[in-house]
Amino acid sequence: MKQSVKNKKAIIVYVTLVLVGTTLGRQTVWAEGDNEEVYVLPDVVVTATRTEKNINKVPASVTILQGEDLQERHQDNLGDALRIVPGVQFDSYGSGAGYSNTLRMNGSNNVLFMVDGITMNATGVNPPLTMMRNMDGIDRVEVVRGAASTLYGSGAIGGVINMITRVPDEGMRTTVRTIGGSYDQEQYKVINEGKEGDLYWRASYQKDLMGSYKDAHGLTIPQRLDGHTASFMVGGNVDSKNNVMFSYDSYRAGVKYADSNASLFHIRHNSEANDSFRGIWKSTINDRLSHQLYVLNNHYDISAKDAMYGDYDTEIHTKAIGDQVTYTLGAHTIVGGFDWHQDKVDSQNGVKLTNSSYYVQDEWQFASKWTLIPGFRVDHHSAFGTNTSPHISLAYDVNDKTNVYVSYNEYFLAPTAYQLYGLYGGNKNLKPETGYEIDFGVHHQFDDTLLGNMNFFVRHAKDKIGYDTKSLNNIYENFDKEDSYGLSMDLYKQITSHLSAKAAYTYTHVDATSARSANLDGYVPKHAVNFSLDYNASKWDAHLDVRGVIDRPGRSVSVDKGDFFPKNTYWITNVSANYRITDEITIFGRVNNIFDVYYAEMSNVSYGSARDWWTMPGRNYQLGLEMTF
């Protein structure tokens, strides 16, 4: 029987790879007969400097995910989509249903998530990326690795993720999509969007269902997700110099999920709710002066029912307002503004944490090849007073193909309400964490079809905030310091007019502290590799994504408990494809974890027993149909 199962798996893997190989083989032969000139144009990015700038000229390590690529890959949520980005680590408790997942960049879990330049983070809550299931309507996602506190505030230590909304094309269209897959997965979606003159809009509703899944060893992990996502956006040009846009996103879900593998009998029940209202007014006053005003009103609520450990709630109301002014004067582009942000933590007796900040930056291009960008930010926190975060970067165009840069950023991180007042581990005596980061990097265009980037960073943290797991205190504390450094390299190659490839390598080291061992108790891998192969033609597109996690041992545990993770090193391969039957009808499919790798991203071995992991899903499939009219 076991041999039969193995043979069946081998056949499935073989067929999958043959299909991918056939598709890629066709593209190579087909491209050889194509006389189109093959070249690649560098993207334009706004998040790194808050101004539009060629990605090969920004003094930072940046990756851009195009919205079209995200839609063609059919990822379940934004968190899963970010797994292909070098330097980004997204760890999940199994399939991710019902748990708060962990997002890290450059070895730091202090990552800022934004939508259209508006901060979405709430105090003490990881960016709710698994709730971001609406992958339509995205123009691009800009990922800036490294500290960016001068422009974006205290949460931007590991980096910034900015999801930018796409304006619909002229006319009106309605899209209907249905997906079915392994583990009783179902998705039903309808989208209406369009643009008539100066007015544009998008409205969508999505229902997600998912049942229990099996890991690569065939163990059934109980879970159930019943989610509903509704989104509405409307905007337009008031006149030739003013544009307004209003957006509302709502997520509701009922979730049932099991504990770690040794306690699958322990079932938890969550009700999840996330609402976000945003408004943006962009105004061009004259050729030199413009500004962008925003308002935000978010509500985040998770209510957990747990018969074993008791019920608990996390509920936060967030309000924010800000304005950015951009002024150009000769070789100077000056950006300045203010941000006011308040979190009311209803689940912590309604405590309010308010931060008011002001920032200014001057981008000065001098001597034809040099760009100097100094800036600073002043934060006034309701609980921790005033702090200043300076920044300076210097970039030099060696020639028309090579740009080098060095940057220095200081940052300030206030403790969250949960770290200060939480029932488990709260410490009212915590101090803010401060620190700095130095980056050195190179952007190089080898030829018309090959781009490369390299970045090295060093980060030093003082009064590092962390949970004390080594002593008997079991509370959040400030530790003396934490030093980190890392290296990332990536290449993009346009092989033919239809075939492109991306490859990246990341090395990360985080020093041990008195509270935890190196690389955040071994949760941050020392090495990571990403590889993607993309084929696009008029009828077909196919995408192969490989990520390698190398040397991720986890915490040290006693010999009788064995390994902290099933594997310290593993490689995950996914493939997706779309076939356009007509301009209005598309069929698509996706295979995750093709080689059925047994692995876990989270572990309970140190607190529980041997092999007490949250194992990830084994090989699984999705098939779908999309119709537009």
Q: Which of 254, 258, 259 is nearest to 270 (CA)?
A: 254
The residues, any chain, with a CB within 8 Å of residue 549's CB and separated by 6 or more, are 525, 528, 569, 570, 571, 572, 599
The residue among 150 and 589 whose pLDDT is bigger is 589
Q: How far apart are CA 107 and CA 87, in angstroms?
A: 8
**508: which 2 tokens?**
């990360």
Is the predicted pLDDT of residue 2 greater than 50, yes or no?
Answer: no
Q: How far apart are CA 84 and CA 592, in angstroms?
A: 13
Q: First CA to last CA across the chain, in angstroms?
A: 49
Q: Which of 104, 139, 160, 42 is nearest to 400 (CA)?
A: 42
The model's pLDDT over 207-247, given as tens digits with 9 standing for 90+, comes to 999 999 999 999 999 999 999 999 999 999 999 999 999 99
Please give the domain boundaries of the chain with CATH numbers for all domains.
45-93+142-628 (2.40.170.20)
Q: Write down the pLDDT at residue 27.
A: 35
Q: Write down the pLDDT at residue 30.
A: 37
Alpha carbons within 13 A on the beta-carbon side of 355: 25
Strand partners, 333: 328, 363
Q: Write down the pLDDT at residue 302.
A: 86
The model's pLDDT over 64-120, given as tens digits with 9 standing for 90+, comes to 999 999 999 988 788 888 998 999 999 988 887 776 688 899 999 889 999 999 998
The model's pLDDT over 160-186, given as tens digits with 9 standing for 90+, comes to 999 999 999 999 999 999 999 999 999
Stretch 543-555: mean pLDDT, rounded? 95
Q: How far apart are CA 519 and CA 556, in angstroms?
A: 12
Q: How far apart are CA 403 and CA 442, in angstroms?
A: 6
The model's pLDDT over 254-307, given as tens digits with 9 standing for 90+, comes to 999 888 999 999 898 989 899 999 999 999 999 999 999 999 999 999 888 877
Is the predicted pLDDT of residue 252 greater than 90, yes or no?
Answer: yes
The residues, any chain, with a CB within 8 Å of residue 240's CB and separated by 6 or more, are none
The residues, any chain, with a CB within 8 Å of residue 10's CB and separated by 6 or more, are none
**179: which 2 tokens?**
């997906």
Q: Write down the pLDDT at residue 31.
A: 41
Is the predicted pLDDT of residue 565 greater than 90, yes or no?
Answer: yes
CB atoms within 10 A of CB 461: 26
Q: Note whether 159 and 146 are within 8 A (CB).
A: yes
Helix (H) or strand (E) holding 28: helix 2-32
Residue 120 phi, psi (nearest 5) = -105, -5
State CA 434 to chain mean position distance.
24
Q: Note whether 547 and 571 are within 8 A (CB).
A: yes
* Residue whose structure tokens are 């001068």: 150
Q: How far apart are CA 190 and CA 204, in angstroms?
A: 6
**399: which 2 tokens?**
């020639």
Q: Give percent above pLDDT 70 in the chain.
A: 91
Q: Are strands 53-54 and 44-45 parallel, antiparallel or unpaired?
A: antiparallel
pLDDT band, very low/low/confident/very high, at 383 (cuts 50, 70, 90): confident
**567: which 2 tokens?**
């594997």
CB atoms within 10 A of CB 550: 16
Give the DSSP letter of residue 168: P
Q: Write down the pLDDT at residue 99.
A: 65
Is the predicted pLDDT of residue 151 greater than 90, yes or no?
Answer: no
Q: Note whether 175 and 191 are within 8 A (CB).
A: yes
Q: How far apart are CA 292 and CA 278, in angstroms?
A: 13
pLDDT band, very low/low/confident/very high, at 425 (cuts 50, 70, 90): confident
Q: Write down the pLDDT at residue 423.
A: 73
Give the DSSP letter of residue 617: B
Rg (CA), the chain: 24
Cα–Cα–Cα angle for 392, 460, 89, rounded to 5 degrees: 95
Q: Write down the pLDDT at residue 18.
A: 36
**58: which 2 tokens?**
């920004």
Q: Write down the pLDDT at residue 21.
A: 38
Residue type, 189: K
State CA 209 to chain mean position distance.
23
Is the predicted pLDDT of residue 594 greater than 90, yes or no?
Answer: yes
Average pLDDT in the chain: 88
The residue among 51 and 391 whose pLDDT is bigger is 391
Q: How far apart are CA 68 and CA 108, in angstroms?
A: 29
pLDDT band, very low/low/confident/very high, at 416 (cuts 50, 70, 90): confident
Q: Note whether 577 and 556 are within 8 A (CB).
A: no
Q: Write down the pLDDT at residue 15.
A: 36
What single string gives the DSSP state of each residue in 228-258? EEEEEEEEEEEETTEEEEEEEEEEEEEEEEE
* Residue whose structure tokens are 């006389």: 35
Q: Write down the pLDDT at residue 128.
A: 62
Q: Give percent above pLDDT 90 in the chain.
A: 64
Q: How far apart are CA 439 and CA 458, in angstroms?
A: 7
Q: Write down the pLDDT at residue 5.
A: 42
Residue 162 phi, psi (nearest 5) = -120, 110
Instruction: Please list the alpha-helical segments (H only) found in 33-121.
Output: 67-73, 78-81
The residue among 348 and 66 whose pLDDT is bigger is 66
The residue among 26 and 626 whose pLDDT is bigger is 626
Q: How far apart are CA 586 and CA 589, in angstroms?
A: 10
